[in-house]
Amino acid sequence: MEGADEIHGLRFWNGDPTVQLLEADDERGAMLLERCLPGYMLRSEPEEKQDLVIAALLKRLWRRSTSLNGIHAFRHLSELLNVWRQETLGQAQHWPDAGLVREGLQISQALGKPAPTDSLLATDLHAGNVLRSQREPWLVIDPKPFVGDPPYDVVQHLRNCEARLHADPRGLVKRLSELAEWIWSDCSFGPLPAPPPIPDQNGAIRCGWISLGGWRRNPCALVFQTPERAGVPDPVRSLECNSRFGSAKILHSS
């Protein structure tokens, strides 16, 4: 389901900053792609460098989707989130932390709704999907395009920095939050908008983006939220981090 529009997405970005699509059979889903040489993954570089490369690539991906027409032809991220929601609900007996999962499902459903600032997202942009190339230093491969909230793309990279996330969650969230703000402002999107407020059972308000993928292996969710957030009910634990991008709270189960 995620990769159904990959060919369409590669045509849209047209090698900027993705790998070039040379030829494709849409019916069979077959693609002839530009060869990347030497072709090693960004994952082989230090994670501090990965952060900067991912940020630079995201800036180009988002800027292109705001300057060109045609993103209306792509599916909205809410469709993908709904599929994941139904899959997760069907596996309730395996939830490692029911409170965390229910809260994540509630927030993801609210934040996944269409918004005026939506852009075309790669949705799976991490250091394993960026290759060293001759045409450009780094090119994006395997995009899974959906229209949605741009900060969603930043969280995908965060989830793939698992060791750093466990070792220094506060520092990692702060760094990626600031990079996200830099990308946003440099794309001339205007002031960073506040996502729709989401009241929870305690009446607190939160906003931002949450990552639900891989909860069985590493139950973790990231939320950018307003300072008014007053706490998280048990059994969910939390870690707060302030940055210029807003406040971030990592929700996790032990």
Active site residue 16: no
* Residue 183 CB partners (closer than 8 Å, separation 6+): 55, 58, 59, 62, 150, 154
**What SS3 state is found at 92?**
helix
DSSP state of 246: E
Q: What are phi and psi of 55, to 5 degrees?
A: -60, -45
Q: Which residue shows structure tokens 């027409």?
A: 69
Q: Which one of the listed residues 51, 97, 118, 124 is annotated catalytic? A: 124
Reduced DSSP (H G I as helix, E B as strand, rest coil) percent helix, strand, coil of the chain, to 5: 40, 20, 40
Q: Which residues are catalytic?
A: 124
